[in-house]
Amino acid sequence: MAELARADHPLSCVPMPDLPDSDSPLVLLHNPRCSKSRAARALLEERGVAFTERRYLDDPLTLVELYELAARLGRPPREWSRCGEEAWSAANLTDDAGDDAILRAMAAHPILIERPILVRGRRAAVGRPLERNLDLL
């Protein structure tokens, strides 16, 4: 993760048009087939919170966006990747895969991205458990 957090990293401060820089709007990275993702969406709706939904399987994040997301999450990509998916093996990822290899695999196989993820401004949270998303509201 230190690689991602360095100020001189070429992707650390690139503006992302689809990931907000201000505290509004919220962006929910959503997979409607996932019960946890549907629960996060329902939570936002129940609270009357305005948000934009991005179905990342249909509209995948670019590699640059994934680097930005890693910085906003403040967590190494391995911690918010789905290592049990067949795509993990298909991408030839191993237990010692580095951040760059994992992010490149996520760009090629978005199913590897854990969900739900809520983005607000320069912060993001993986909604597992769901209450983690409340920190951004």
Q: Which residues are catalytic?
A: 34
In the 8-state DSSP scheme, what is residue 16? -
Structural tokens at position 23: 């505290």
Contacts of 99 by beta carbon, 8 Å cutoff, 6+ apart: 1, 3, 4, 70, 76, 77, 78
Among 31, 80, 23, smallest CA distance to 49 is for: 23
Distance between CA 118 and CA 27 in Å, rounded?
Answer: 6
Structural tokens at position 95: 């237990």
Structural tokens at position 41: 């969406």
